Amino acid sequence: MSDLLERLRAGLPPEALITDPDVTASYAHDMASFCEAGTPAVVVLPRTVEQVQHVMRTATALRVPVVPQGARTGLSGAANASDGCIVLSLVKMDRILEISPVDRIAVVEPGVVNAVLSRAVNEHGLYYPPDPSSWETCTIGGNIGTASGGLCCVKYGVTAEYVLGLEAVLADGRLLTTGRRTAKGVAGYDLTRLFVGSEGSLGIVVKAVLALKPQPPQQLVLAAEFPSAATACDAVCRIMERGHTPSLLELMDRTTVRAVNALASMGLPETTEALLLCAFDTPDPLSDLAAVGELCTAAGATEVVPADNPAESELLLQARRMSLTALETVKSATMIDDVCVPRSQLGAMLAGTAAIAEEYGLTIGVCAHAGDGNTHPVVCFDHQDPDESRRARESFDAIMALGLELGGTITGEHGVGVLKKKWLARELGETGVELQRSIKAAFDPLGLLNPGKLF
């Protein structure tokens, strides 16, 4: 420990090192439940690439594991510390280095908060679409690490589609540059895409070149109430089948609606079994919303209400964004699933989740990026009740198994981390895991970067 601190201090300013155990303990884990976390030896908060390189050279020399972190808003334990590790928090590397309206790119450091970047590019008439529900606090580096999505993915896609290039510090301290600033480029293997979603297991992202889009018109939202999740999912299928491209298509079940109302008195309709939110940012959103409204009615909606103005639309979106937070207040703890299925299987996924909730005697609320088939079943339980905690974990596993049975994936945007390691192996198969381990070994032969995650 003394040798580690001495070597780190040789290349870092005093304020970049945290050794107080009471403070370092607060960096031990992200927001996921049921995920083991160790005790870090030290927390480092670098401000420069050179400082990150110094940390990695020191870690390699002493064979000390390194756990990279962003804002720790993750939901899979990917940022959890291991015993004796260096926690490398990138939140102080928070500069927007460049915004180019001509090239339609932004160059940023990993600690830039998603919402800060979004507002900055808006001032140039540009738009950075990926918008996780935690966008006011989550960082771009964390978004890249877990390949985050968000509410607008149905039209604009996920983080991976906006990362053009990266600078990353490798385990031995070398600086790797991947990708490009150009609109096109196919030179060599796509190492940039390989880093997106790697959860800090291949290298430390210290700079990102991000693609931007022209800022679209302000979106308007329609809210449709349904007597069942099945009819709401039928509406989703009709909307997509008819070729509509909403900027947002979100679903909240009755449990979620009630939780949001209890938390923030939003006035959402508590009698509905499923609330579908559909938005358009097209030149004529009212026409698009009217067409979607007709499809919702045909699918069985009991009420279809278009928002009158952007302010009312934003209020509805705020309700959706706070869904996970609201469900956390139902009981003392939650486990948040992240199963994505083909859109055609969305109804079966929700029906199966409801059956699992009944089987295990638990409250499970569901909010979903319905347009993507990405569901977030939230298992609510009392963590002080051993039996209920056991049932919560078993129901979580049952939901992931259901997703795979329906042709889906165990994670659409939250990542694998610690929480889903055994399920990644089941999804990828033996050969898939073997090849992924080989890639990990090529970048990190000593296994120092975020050990115990993914595999």
Domain ranges, ordered by start, for the chain: 2-89, 96-214, 220-405
Asked if 219 and 131 touch (Cβ cutoff 8 Å), the reply is no
Question: Strand, helix or coil at 256?
Answer: helix
pLDDT in tens, 346-366: 999 999 999 999 999 999 999
CATH 3.30.465.10 fits 96-214, yes or no: yes
Asked if 294 and 287 touch (Cβ cutoff 8 Å), the reply is no
Superfamily grouping for domain 220-405: FAD-linked oxidases, C-terminal domain (3.40.462.10)
For helices 229-241 and 285-299, the axis angle rounded to 10 degrees is: 130
CATH of domain 2-89: 3.30.43.10
pLDDT in tens, 270-304: 999 999 999 999 999 999 999 999 999 999 999 99
Q: What are phi and psi of 362, to 5 degrees?
A: -125, 160
Question: Strand, helix or coil at 264?
Answer: helix
Other CB atoms closer than 10 Å to residue 123's CB: what's the count?
A: 9
pLDDT value of position 308: 84
pLDDT value of position 433: 96
Q: Which residues of the chain have pLDDT under 70?
A: none
| Best CA proximity match to 289, nearest among 273, 270, 274, 309 | 309
| Best CA proximity match to 56, nearest among 90, 29, 80, 95 | 90
- b/e code 91-100 from CB counts within 10 Å (16+ = b): bbbbeeeebe
pLDDT value of position 237: 98
pLDDT value of position 70: 97
